[in-house]
């Protein structure tokens, strides 16, 4: 039996891709009888516990989080979580004999694993998820300069450091070339997301619906997608742009949309539940990501499973998800003209759209969460065996 203490301050409904990934990984872990795992995460309300199957326990620690901003974690949120999780984890470790800890994010979670390894000799694994790699997010410019030596120290002492895409591994390697970094990509719930025939989509809507789902921050490059949509509208294409999610750049984008006269063509859905998300994906025609920096986008993977052609910048997991010309197109960063041109090629060629849709679904079926969970469990077993050797 392998016993793991897992840290991630994000878990649905809090957070974004990392929380979503944890949700699906734990559900696959619940099917592995030789694994016991406890997750320490954040809560918007009071302390509570939740069990998944017979072997997974989730502890929700209240951090004073406001429910009005679930997708954005402030520095205060991270500090409160780190302090409470550190105290709580030490109490758990007194009662339970963990073989290892596993942290999503180098900081603050990896710092807790690092501390436990010092005090209780418990080895740990760190999964790099995005903002925990210096240089990834525009929010943490000064903070990165302060934290980089500490992050490198956390990586150095870890049993393994795992990135969620090859390009993200390469970014992290620039910070610490001596540290070997493995790759375990995100997965996709192919049983939840389904491909719908284009004929049905056309019957349900007379517009060509463009979908994008992610946190609304400058790093995601939304303004280029909005400007690309304006170019398509000016060429008399009947399009609509739907953006799933929340974020602090929303008001800025709304001002741009108003300036361009696109109020009737762009919809912000806000945060949606899983059923609503799957419906949005299934009824859309393409998925577009104009991100300037990415890890492995869960939304892009869900677009794959929904049989959508994908148009994306060459960042993060794009190389693993988009086969240029096969199931979508790779676009230039900060280039609304190139984005509009690639979208238009699909609008004007329904047979191309159908071929790309089929290829997206085929790729998705090879990237299940079951495989992701198996890869992580194998890493746990290797860590446990090495510790006991």
Number of domains in the chain: 2
What is residue 315's predicted lDDT score, i.e. its pLDDT? 82
- Does residue 61 lie within any of the structural domains? yes
Both 261 and 313 in a single domain? yes
192 found inside a domain: no
**What's the confidence (pLDDT) of residue 120?**
94
374 and 359 belong to one structural domain? no
Tell me: pLDDT of 74 over 80: no
Determine, yes or no, domain membership for 193: no
What are residue 209's DSSP bridge partners?
240
Residue ranges making up the domain that contains 280: 198-364
Any domain includes 169: yes
- 164, 127 Cβ separation under 8 angstroms: yes
User: What is the pTM assigned to this prediction?
Assistant: 0.78
Q: Do 288 and 210 reside in the same domain of the chain? A: yes
Q: What is the pLDDT of residue 27?
A: 96
pLDDT greater than 70 at residue 140 = no
Confidence of residue 71 (pLDDT cuts 50, 70, 90): low
Q: Is residue 378 one of the residues assigned to a domain?
A: yes
Same domain for 168 and 51, yes or no, is yes
| pLDDT above 80 (res 382) | yes
**The most confident of 13-22, 86-95, 190-199, 214-223, by mean pLDDT:** 86-95
Do 278 and 316 share a domain, yes or no? yes
Q: According to the model, what pLDDT value does residue 138 have?
A: 64
The model's pLDDT over 316-337, given as tens digits with 9 standing for 90+, comes to 778 888 999 999 999 999 999 9
Q: Report the pLDDT value the prediction gives residue 62, as an integer from 0 to 100.
A: 94
Domain identity same for 235 and 267: yes
Q: What is the edge-to-edge ordering of all strands in the sheet holding 286-289? A: 266-270, 239-244, 208-213, 286-289, 310-313, 328-331
**Backbone dihedral angles phi then psi of residue 323, each to the nearest 5 degrees:** -95, 105
230 lies in a domain?
yes
Q: Are residues 360 and 372 in the same domain?
A: no
CB contact at 8 A, 209 and 176: no
Nearest to 285 by CA among 369, 211, 341: 211
Residues 265 and 233 sit within 8 Å (Cβ to Cβ): yes
Both 130 and 180 in one domain: the answer is yes
Return the pLDDT at 296. Answer: 74
Return the exposure string of 20-54: e unless at least 16 CB atoms fall within 10 Å of the residue's CB, then b: bbbbbbbbbbbebeebbbbbbbbbbeeeeeeeeee
pLDDT value at 224 more than 90: yes
Token pair belonging to 187: 């997965």
Dist. CA 176–CA 149, nearest whole Å: 10
Q: What is the pLDDT of residues 82-127, one digit of tens each?
A: 999 999 999 999 999 999 999 999 999 999 999 999 999 999 999 9
CA angle 371, 377, 378 (to 5 degrees): 90
Question: In this structure, what CATH number is given to the domain that contains residue 137?
Answer: 3.40.50.2000
In a domain, 229, yes or no: yes
Across the range 351-365, mean pLDDT stands at: 95
- Give mean pLDDT, residues 334-356: 97
> Do 249 and 274 lie in a common domain?
yes
Question: How far is Cα 97 from Cα 2, in angstroms, rounded to an integer?
Answer: 10
Residue 65 has pLDDT above 90, yes or no: no
- What pLDDT is stored for residue 68 in this prediction? 61
The pLDDT of 138-159, averaged and rounded, is 86
Query: Is the confidence at residue 297, as pLDDT, over 90?
Result: no
- Residue 127 and residue 101 in contact, taking contact as beta carbons nearer than 8 Å: no
Q: pLDDT tens for residues 29-53?
A: 999 999 999 999 999 889 999 999 9
Do residues 324 and 360 lie in contact, with contact meaning Cβ atoms separated by under 8 Å? no
pLDDT of residue 311: 97
- 131 and 258 in a single domain? The answer is no
Q: Are 374 and 360 in a shared domain?
A: no
Q: Is the pLDDT of residue 295 over 90?
A: no
pLDDT in tens, 225-271: 999 999 999 999 999 999 998 888 999 999 999 999 999 999 999 88
State whether 153 and 223 are in the same domain: no
């Amino acid at each position: 039996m392998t016993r793991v203490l897992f840290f991630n301050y994000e878990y649905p409904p809090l957070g974004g891709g990392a929380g979503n990934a944890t949700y699906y990984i734990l559900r696959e872990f619940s099917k592995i009888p030789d694994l016991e795992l406890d997750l320490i995460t954040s809560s918007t309300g009071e302390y509570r516990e939740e069990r998944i199957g017979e072997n997974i326990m989730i502890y929700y620690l209240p951090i004073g989080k406001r429910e009005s901003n679930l997708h954005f974690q402030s520095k205060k949120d991270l500090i409160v979580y780190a302090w409470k999780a550190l105290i709580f984890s030490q109490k758990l470790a007194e009662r339970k004999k963990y073989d290892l800890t596993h942290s999503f994010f180098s900081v603050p979670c990896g710092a807790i694993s690092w501390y436990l390894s010092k005090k209780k000799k418990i080895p740990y694994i760190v999964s790099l998820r995005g903002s925990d790699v210096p240089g990834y997010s525009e929010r943490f410019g000064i903070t990165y300069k302060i934290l980089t030596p500490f992050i490198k120290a956390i990586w150095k002492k870890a049993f393994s450091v795992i990135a969620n895409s090859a390009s993200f591994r390469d970014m992290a390697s620039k910070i610490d070339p001596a540290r070997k970094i493995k790759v375990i990509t995100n997965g996709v719930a192919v049983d939840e997301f389904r491909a719908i025939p284009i004929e049905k989509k056309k019957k349900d809507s007379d517009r060509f619906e463009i979908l994008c789902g992610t946190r609304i921050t400058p790093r995601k490059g939304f303004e280029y997608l909005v400007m690309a949509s304006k170019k398509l509208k000016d060429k008399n294409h009947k399009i609509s742009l739907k953006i799933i999610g929340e974020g602090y750049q929303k008001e800025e984008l709304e001002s741009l949309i108003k300036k361009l006269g696109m109020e009737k063509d762009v919809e912000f859905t806000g945060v949606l539940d899983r059923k609503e998300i799957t419906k949005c994906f299934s009824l859309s025609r393409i998925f577009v990501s104009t991100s300037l920096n990415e890890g492995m986008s869960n939304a892009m993977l869900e677009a794959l499973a929904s049989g959508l052609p994908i148009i994306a910048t060459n960042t993060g997991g794009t190389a693993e998800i988009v086969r240029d010309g096969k199931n979508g197109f790779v676009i230039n960063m900060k280039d609304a003209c190139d984005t509009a041109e690639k979208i238009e090629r699909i609008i004007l060629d329904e047979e191309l759209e159908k071929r790309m849709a089929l290829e997206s679904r085929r790729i998705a079926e090879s990237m299940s969460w079951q495989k992701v969970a198996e890869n992580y469990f194998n890493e746990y077993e290797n860590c446990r065996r090495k510790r006991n050797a």
